[in-house]
A and B are shown apart, each in its own frame.
Chain A
Amino acid sequence: MIQSLYLGLKYLQYHIYRTIILIGAIGVILYLPLGLGRLISESETQMMARADATPLIIGAKDNATDLVINSIYFEQCNVEQITFSKANELDRLGFGYSIPFISVFNARNYPIVGTTLDYFRFRNLDIEEGHNLQFVGECVLGALVAESLNLGPGDSLVSSPDNFLDLAGSYPLQMKVVGVLKTSNTPDDRAVFTDLKTNWVIMGLGHGHEDMTEVKDPTLILEQDSTSITASAKLFIYNKIDGEKLESFHFHGDKSNFPITSILFIPDNHKAATLLRGRYKTDIIQEQILIPSEVIANLLENIFRIKHIFNTVFILVGFATLLILSLIIVLTLRLRKKELYTMFTIGSSKTKTFEIVVSELLVIIVGSLMLAAALYAISGYFVESFIQQFIL
């Protein structure tokens, strides 16, 4: 057997490129269903883990899936907004505490998530470098954002305006990076966290500008009487907030009417959650309350129905591979007929010839399996980041 294996290996070694291609092709075909299966199940697990770790979400009576996806994976879909007062109202009910969210802006393609410090505590997000949010205009970066943008405490990050032509609306804000979060392998790694108020500043709801009564450049004032001043658009609207400017920052209107996209609610206990959900079972309340795990489970059930299609496809591909492999073996044996006959002439048995061919096949199969296993192991290593990058 060892001699047959030796001859088999020599044959494969001599036709090394053919062997590599064959091992590669079979390995990949073996790996694909395994790898994809793992990716799907890991995605399911991770998506569900995130959803399970989020007790309740309250938002506008809009698309439930969009609302949950926006709130827990920070995928920016068009979610109708609610007012900040809803969070205060929920807090007053005494069922637990609420964490308001707003996620409508981006900074260099990463979502800006406006929330409160309670969020970091709730998700056990620790600071790796720098410190947590303190003042308006600051931001804390998820580990992945910091790494990919090569930013750290002391650097700055400018919010992308939602519309360049919307001059009266959001002004890009140069945010000061004050901290970087530890890697959590969750969508938090891909987010730029700010205080709610910083988001409102980007929305144009709050701003800082020179004191109108102390403006030195007369061209800034278009019109002035005893009670009012009209400033020209030249009046500098700060696009970053720090130091003295911080004190000049102010918001127009009642903050309780300011927008948020959703509220993450952490009930004190199961009873509190049930009671709270009961309150939303009426048409009078404009918002909906959602259990993320239910919404995501439902979503996954629909999305991963495709898994069954994959399985069927893989069975067919596997069958086709088997046929092609058989064809390759038959053709190879035909090409090697003379060689094998020489061996027989010299004194080899048909069993020996069979042994040589089988050992070659075994090497190819073992090689393919090893390749598939290696790919599986490698993909296991990258599956987390793949999911973070492309799925969550």
Chain B
Amino acid sequence: MIELSNLEFHYPGSDFKLKIDALNISRGSTTAVIGQSGSGKTTLLNLIAGILEPFSGSVKVGNTDVCLLSDKARRNFRIKDIGFVFQDFRLISYLNGLDNILLPFKINDSIQLNGETNIWIKNIAHEMGIENKLGKYPHQLSHGEKQRLAICRALVARPSIILADEPTGNLDPNNKTNIMNLLFAYARKNNATLVTVTHDYDMLKDFDSIIDFNDLTIDKV
């Protein structure tokens, strides 16, 4: 369960202000976040992940108030519990496919590689259809492959929450469906919460719930 209550956030020196009185996303659900550009959809994801700290209010994931966690604890929370998928893939150009998937293990010591993880990696790579591309560098992959690789990276630590920021924004229609199906499949299979920012209204029907940022109480100064 993700619970946001009385949340207020604004970027210093900016006239943007996000205010959410109450928002609950239940565990295992798939949620689409829609709204105009600059409406605060990505900010919402960053607040959930603890990357941004709200000016007031709380962000609870399960029983943990993310806002009360130390920096280190927040990083560990992100690495263990959250899988990020970005519109522009955010793959590390100088790492090959496998190293990109393993990146979380290399940048945070709180998760360790073990035999089980290795099997898991093989499985998800297989599921994503990129098991033959693990030796390749990002520039050697197509957009679809890149995003599937990015999803593998997001899922490598078996997160309970997937935060996807327009994951299909750079993909062709075929790939869009494939990618979303993969994310839905993971969420359902692992009882994980999927929160996806999207502009693709055709896909909304596949989500359990939709948060429309246009309906939220958003104060703009």
Chain A interfacial positions (CB closer than 8 Å to B):
3-4, 6-7, 10-11, 13-15, 338-339, 342-349, 352
Q: Which residues of B contact A15 (CB under 8 A)?
A: 94
B103 in the interface (beta carbon within 8 A):
yes
* Interchain Cβ contacts within 8 Å, total number: 58
Name the interface residues of B69-122: CB closer than 8 Å to any CB of A.
71-72, 75-76, 78-79, 84, 86, 90, 92-95, 99, 103-109
Chain B minimum-CB-distance residue to A349: B75
Interface centre among A4, A345, A346 (most CB of B within 10 A): A346
Given contacts A348-B75, A349-B72, contact A343 B107 (CB under 8 A): yes
A348–B94 CB distance below 8 A: no
Residues of A within 8 A of B109 (CB): 3
Nearest-neighbor residue (CB-CB) of A347 within chain B: B79
Contact status B95-A10, CB under 8 Å: yes
Give the chain B neighbours of A345 by CB distance below 8 A. 49, 51, 78, 84, 90
- Which listed residue, A7, A14, A347, touches B104 by the CB 8 Å rule? A347
Q: Is the CB of A346 within 8 A of B106?
A: no
Q: CA–CA, A343 to B93, complex, Å? A: 12
- Complex interface: chain A residues within 8 A of B137 (CB): 14
Contacts of B78 in A (CB 8 A): 345-347
| Docked complex Cα distance between A7 and B105 (Å) | 11
Please report the C-alpha to C-alpha distance between residue A345 and residue B163 in the assembled complex, in whole angstroms: 11
CA distance in complex: A80, B133 (Å):
82
Q: Are A349 and B106 in contact (CB under 8 A)?
A: no
Give A353's nearest chain B residue, CB to CB: B107
Closest to A1 in B: B109
Q: Which of A3, A11, A342 has the most chain B CB within a 10 Å cutoff?
A: A342
Q: When the two chains form the complex, which single residue of B71, B76, B79, B107 contacts A3, counting CB atoms closer than 8 Å?
A: B107
A6: which B residues are within 8 A, CB to CB?
106
Complex: chain A residue closest to B83, CB-CB = A346
Compute how far the CA of A346 lies from the CA of B84 in the bound complex, rounded to whole angstroms. Answer: 7
Quick check: A346 and B104 within 8 Å, CB to CB?
yes
Chain B positions within 8 Å of A348 at CB level: 75, 107-108
- C-alpha spacing A172/B162, complex, angstroms: 94
Instruction: Write out the residue numbers on chain A whose beta carbons fall within 8 Å of the beta carbon of B51.
Output: 344-345
Asked if A3 contacts B106 (CB within 8 A), the reply is yes
Residue of B whose beta carbon sits closest to that of A352: B107
Alpha-carbon distance between A135 and B105 when the two chains are bound, in angstroms: 84
12 A-B pairs, CB-CB below 8 angstroms? A3-B105, A3-B106, A7-B95, A339-B92, A342-B86, A343-B107, A346-B78, A346-B84, A346-B107, A346-B153, A347-B78, A349-B71
Given known contacts A346-B78, A346-B79, A346-B84, is B104 in contact with A339 (CB within 8 Å)?
no
Q: Size range of the interface on B?
A: 20 to 34
Given contacts A343-B107, A347-B104, contact A13 B94 (CB under 8 A): yes
Knowing that A14-B94, A15-B94, A346-B108 are A-B contacts, what are 5 other residue pairs whose CB atoms are under 8 Å apart, sorted by A's residue number?
Answer: A7-B106, A338-B90, A342-B86, A344-B51, A345-B90
**Chain A residues positioned under 8 Å from B94 (CB to CB):** 10-11, 13-15
B120, chain A: closest CB distance, angstroms: 17
CB–CB B92/A342 < 8 A = yes
Residue of A nearest to B99 (CB): A10
Residue ID in chain A nearest B106 by CB atoms:
A3
Q: Which 8 A-B pairs have the closest CB atoms?
A: A347-B79, A14-B94, A348-B107, A342-B90, A3-B106, A347-B78, A347-B108, A347-B75
In the assembled complex, how far is the CB of residue A94 from the closest CB belonging to chain B, in whole angstroms? 82
A34 to B79, CA, bound (A): 48
Q: How far is the CA of A61 from the CA of B49 in the complex (A)?
A: 92
**Which chain B positions have C-beta within 8 A of A344?**
51
Q: How far is the CB of B99 from chain A (nearest CB, A)?
A: 7
| Cβ of B10 to closest chain A Cβ, rounded Å | 20
- Encode contact with A along B119-140: 1 for CB under 8 Å, 0 otherwise: 0000000000000000001000
Decide: A347 and B76 in contact? CB cutoff 8 A: yes
Residues of B contacting A347 with CB < 8 Å? Answer: 75-76, 78-79, 104, 107-108
Q: Within the complex, what minimum Cβ distance (angstroms) separates A133 from chain B?
A: 68
Shortest CB–CB separation between residue B8 and chain A, in angstroms? 22
With A10-B94, A13-B94 known as contacts, the answer to whether A343 contacts B103 (CB < 8 A) is: yes
Rounded to whole Å, the gap between the CB of B30 and the closest CB of chain A is 21
Task: For the complex formed, measure the closest distance between the CB of A212 and the CB atoms of chain B, giving whole angstroms.
Answer: 90
A15 to B139, CA, bound (A): 14
Nearest B residue to A344, CB-CB: B51
Bound: A344/B84 CA distance, A: 12
Q: How far is the CB of B43 from chain A (nearest CB, A)?
A: 13
| Bound-state Cα–Cα, A3 to B79, Å | 16
Q: How far is the CB of B22 from chain A (nearest CB, A)?
A: 26
Smallest distance from the beta carbon of B134 to chain A beta carbons, Å? 15
Which residue from chain B places its CB closest to the CB of A7 in the assembled complex? Answer: B106
A13, B95: Cα distance in complex, Å: 10
The A-contacting residues of B in range 137-189, CB under 8 angstroms, are 137, 153
Q: How far is the CA of A177 from the CA of B78 in the complex (A)?
A: 85
What distance in Å separates the Cβ of B90 from its nearest Cβ neighbour in chain A?
Answer: 4
Closest CB of chain A to B84's CB: distance in Å? Answer: 6
Set of chain A residues within 8 Å of B75, measured between Cβ atoms:
347-349
Q: B99 — which chain A residues lie within 8 A by C-beta?
A: 10
Return the contact of A14 from the options B93, B103, B108, B153 (Cβ within 8 A). B93
Q: Whole-angstrom distance between the alpha carbons of A224 and B73 in the complex? A: 121
What separation, in Å, do the CA atoms of A132 and B99 have in the docked complex? Answer: 71
CA distance A343 to B86 in the complex (A): 13
**CA A345 to CA B109, docked complex, whole Å:** 15
Residue in B76, B93, B95, B108 whose beta carbon sits within 8 Å of that of A352 in the complex: B108
